[in-house]
Amino acid sequence: MHADLHAHTTYSDGSPLPEMCRAAETVGLDAVGFTDHCIVVDDEFGRRERYHLVETYERRREAIERFRPRTDLTVWDAAEVSYVADAEAETADFLDAAGFDYTIGSVHFAGEYDYTTASQYADASEAERRAAVERYFDAVVAAVDSELFDVLGHLDLPERMAALRGHARRSDYERVAAALSDSATVPEINAGRVHGSLGRVHPNPAMLDAFREHGVGFVLGTDSHSPREIERRVPALREVVETHDVPLAEFEPSAAVVR
Ligand SMILES: [Zn+2]
Ligand SMILES: [Zn+2]
């Protein structure tokens, strides 16, 4: 693993950019991409978390440019964009104007469902939980089909929550893999909960053969919000890649080839 394509700075809910870069250097990475949360359409997530990279990306870009001479790392100016199905045109316009090195598209919400907090599912029946998860994968397939994003983020996010865990089926992974095989979008192996409640990466390593069958390769992202997370998650990702023989994709942010 030479590049971490998914990390957050103080431009969303992460840590100062120089500290994140130092950690990336410490674990021997050659490149890191900063993918602060970017809420193009003001949804509940954006209001709650005040993620305003839409307004601050130019300032962050200047900060990245000022920092580049101080490091041997390749530092990418990227974004994690919440996919909102009825806002594809606005999202495309914003991303065209912003000109990030690359973008991660993530489903955090779909319809009435919020996949970032578990409170909504406390009293839900099994059928309701399954419906929430199925709706999630509908949105993931739509995000891939939209061709708005370079990378598909944490593609089984509901698994993070105990209330929804285990409701994803093999058929869900298979339809995501089929959509990816017809798309320029590349999925990530995401380590956001590798040491947390989930204790594994996204997507479920047990489902990797579904992606292999479709010739889909992955890029790697720690989804770190602190230097300590980078330092712990990069070795964990390296181990996952080796243990599960993860198929890796060629990926080119700003014309640099990453493996
Ligand atoms: Zn996310
Ligand atoms: Zn993230």
Tens digit of each residue's pLDDT (9 = 90 or more) over 47-68: 566 667 888 999 999 999 999 9
Q: Which ligand is nearest to the CA of 107?
A: 1
Question: Which conformational region is residue 8 in: left (phi greater than 0), alpha (psi within -120 to 50 degrees), or beta?
Answer: beta
Nearest to 52 by CA among 5, 60, 192: 60
Domain ranges in the chain are: 3-255
User: DSSP letters along the chain, please?
Assistant: --EEEEE-BTTTTSB-HHHHHHHHHHTT-SEEEEEEEE-SS--HHHHHHT-BHHHHHHHHHHHHHHHGGG-SSEEEEEEEEEP-GGGHHHHHHHHHHH--S-EEEE-SEETTEESS-SGGGTT--HHHHHHHHHHHHHHHHHHHHTT--SEE--TTGGGGSTTTTT---HHHHHHHHHHHHTSS-EEEEE-TTSSSSS-S-BS-GGGHHHHHHTT--BEEE--BSSHHHHHHHHHHHHHHHHHTTPPBPPB-GGG--B-
Q: What pLDDT is stored for residue 75 in this prediction? A: 97
Structure tokens at 5: 């394509």
* Percent of the chain whose pLDDT exceeds 90: 88
CATH superfamily of 3-255: Metal-dependent hydrolases (3.20.20.140)
Ligand nearest to the CA of 79: 2
CA of 36 to the centre of ligand 1 (A): 9
- Confidence check: pLDDT of 1 > 60: yes
Q: What is the pLDDT of residue 40?
A: 87
Q: Please list, in sequence order, all residues whose beta carbon lies within 8 angstroms of the beta carbon of residue 148, skipping any fewer than 6 positions away.
A: 81, 83, 88, 91, 92, 95, 103, 105
CA of 178 to the centre of ligand 2 (A): 24
pLDDT for 179: 98
Q: Which amino acid is at 205?
A: P
Q: How many CB atoms lie within 10 A of CB 28?
A: 11
User: Per residue in 181-235, pLDDT tens?
Assistant: 999 999 999 999 999 889 999 999 999 999 999 999 999 999 999 999 999 999 9
- Cα(153) to ligand 1 centroid in Å equals 7
Q: What is residue 28's predicted lDDT score, i.e. its pLDDT?
A: 97
The pLDDT > 70 percentage for the chain reads: 94
Q: What's the mean per-residue pLDDT of the chain?
A: 93
Residue 152, pLDDT > 50, answer yes
Looking at residue 209, its pLDDT comes to: 97
For position 51, what pLDDT does the model report? Answer: 67
pLDDT of residue 259: 46
Query: What mean pLDDT do residues 143-170 have?
Result: 97
